[in-house]
Amino acid sequence: MKKLLYILLITLIINADLQSQVPVAYQSLYDSLLTKLTIINNDLTNRWNGTQNCTYFSSEILTANSLVQGSNLLNPNALVLSINNIKALDSMGVNSIRLGISYPTLVSNFPNSSQFLDFYQQVFQEARSRGMKILVQCTATHTNPAYGPVDPDVAAFCSGLTPTRYKIEKREMIETIIDLLTPDYLTIENEPTTWQDAIGLDYSVDTVVSYINYFLNDINKNGVKIGAGQGTWEPIDYLNEEVQIVDLDYIDLHTYPIFGNFFDDQLYIYSDTVIAHNKSIVIGETWLHKTTLAEYIGGITLQEIQKRNVFSFWETIDSLHFDCLYKYSQIYNVEFLNLYWSTYLFGNRDYVLGDESQTTSDLIPPTNIIIFNNITNYSFQLLGLFYASFDVDSMQTLCDTTTWISKNCSDNIIPHILIYPNPTTGVFTVEGKDIQSIEITNINGQTIKQLSIDNNQLSIDLSNQPKGIYLIKLKNNKFVVVKKIVIR
Looking at the predicted structure, is the pLDDT value of residue 314 above 80? yes
* Neighbouring C-beta atoms of residue 355, cutoff 10 Å: 18
Instruction: Looking at the structure, tell me whether residues 353 and 438 fall in a common domain.
Output: no
CA 242 to chain centre: 22
In this predicted structure, which of 5-19, 41-55, 289-303, 444-458 has the lowest mean pLDDT?
5-19
Instruction: Looking at the structure, tell me whether residues 445 and 352 fall in a common domain.
Output: no
Q: What is the pLDDT of residue 136?
A: 98
Q: What percent of the chain has pLDDT over 70?
A: 89
Mean pLDDT of 379-393: 74
Instruction: Looking at the structure, tell me whether residues 298 and 445 fall in a common domain.
Output: no
Specify the length of the chain in residues. Answer: 488
Q: What percent of the chain has pLDDT over 90?
A: 68
Going by pLDDT thresholds of 50, 70 and 90, the confidence category of residue 131 is: confident
Looking at the predicted structure, is the pLDDT value of residue 297 above 50? yes
Instruction: Looking at the structure, tell me whether residues 366 and 430 fall in a common domain.
Output: no
Which pairs from 460-463 meet CB under 8 Å and 24+ separation? 460/427, 460/428, 460/429, 460/430, 461/426, 461/427, 462/424, 462/426, 462/427, 462/428, 462/487, 463/425, 463/426, 463/427
Domain boundary among 395, 422, 456: 395
Closest by CA position to 313, among listed 3, 6, 20: 20
Instruction: Looking at the structure, tell me whether residues 390 and 410 fall in a common domain.
Output: no
> What CATH number does residue 195 fall under?
3.20.20.80
Q: What does pLDDT average to over the chain?
A: 88
Q: In what order do the strands lie in the sheet containing 468-475?
A: 401-404, 479-487, 468-475, 437-442, 447-452
More confident residue, 169 or 297: 169
Mean pLDDT of 458-471: 88
Q: What is the pLDDT of residue 146?
A: 81
DSSP state letter for 349: B
Looking at the predicted structure, is the pLDDT value of residue 104 above 70? yes
Instruction: Looking at the structure, tell me whether residues 316 and 410 fall in a common domain.
Output: no
Helix H or strand E segment including 450: strand 447-452
Residue 356: give the domain boundaries: 2-395
Establish how many alpha carbons lie within 13 A of residue 344's alpha carbon, considering only the half-sphere containing its beta carbon: 24
Looking at the predicted structure, is the pLDDT value of residue 19 above 60? no
Q: What is the pLDDT of residue 408?
A: 44
Q: What is the pLDDT of residue 85?
A: 95
Instruction: Looking at the structure, tell me whether residues 245 and 273 fall in a common domain.
Output: yes
Closest by CA position to 34, among listed 297, 374, 413, 321: 321
Q: What is the pLDDT of residue 418?
A: 79
Closest by CA position to 137, among listed 183, 93, 95, 172: 183
Q: Is 253 helix (H, G, I), strand (E, B) or coil?
A: strand
Going by pLDDT thresholds of 50, 70 and 90, the confidence category of residue 145 is: confident
Mean pLDDT of 374-382: 86
Looking at the predicted structure, is the pLDDT value of residue 292 above 80? yes
* Neighbouring C-beta atoms of residue 81, cutoff 10 Å: 20
Q: What is the pLDDT of residue 396?
A: 42
Q: What is the pLDDT of residue 234?
A: 95
Convert the pLDDT of each residue in 65-89 to its tens digit: 999 999 999 999 999 999 999 999 9
Q: What is the pLDDT of residue 147?
A: 83
Going by pLDDT thresholds of 50, 70 and 90, the confidence category of residue 14 is: very low
Helix H or strand E segment including 372: helix 360-376
Instruction: Looking at the structure, tell me whether residues 172 and 237 fall in a common domain.
Output: yes
In this predicted structure, which of 135-149, 184-198, 199-213, 245-259 has the lowest mean pLDDT?
135-149
Going by pLDDT thresholds of 50, 70 and 90, the confidence category of residue 382 is: confident
Looking at the predicted structure, is the pLDDT value of residue 401 above 60? no
Q: What is the pLDDT of residue 398?
A: 56
Domain boundary among 373, 395, 417: 395
Instruction: Looking at the structure, tell me whether residues 83 and 181 fall in a common domain.
Output: yes
Q: What is the pLDDT of residue 191?
A: 96
Helix H or strand E segment including 165: helix 163-176
Looking at the predicted structure, is the pLDDT value of residue 212 above 50? yes
Closest by CA position to 437, among listed 426, 429, 449, 446: 449
Instruction: Looking at the structure, tell me whether residues 379 and 452 fall in a common domain.
Output: no
- Into how many domains does the chain fold? 2
> What CATH number does residue 418 fall under?
2.60.40.3080
DSSP state letter for 328: H
How many angstroms separate the CA atoms of 462 and 481, rounded? 20
Closest by CA position to 334, among listed 147, 58, 11: 58
Domain boundary among 395, 422, 446: 395
Instruction: Looking at the structure, tell me whether residues 39 and 107 fall in a common domain.
Output: yes
More confident residue, 95 or 258: 258
Q: What is the pLDDT of residue 372?
A: 94
Mean pLDDT of 122-134: 90
Q: What is the pLDDT of residue 406?
A: 46
Instruction: Looking at the structure, tell me whether residues 369 and 412 fall in a common domain.
Output: no
Q: What is the pLDDT of residue 392?
A: 52
Looking at the predicted structure, is the pLDDT value of residue 411 above 80? no
- Helix 76-92 × helix 382-395 angle, to 10°: 60
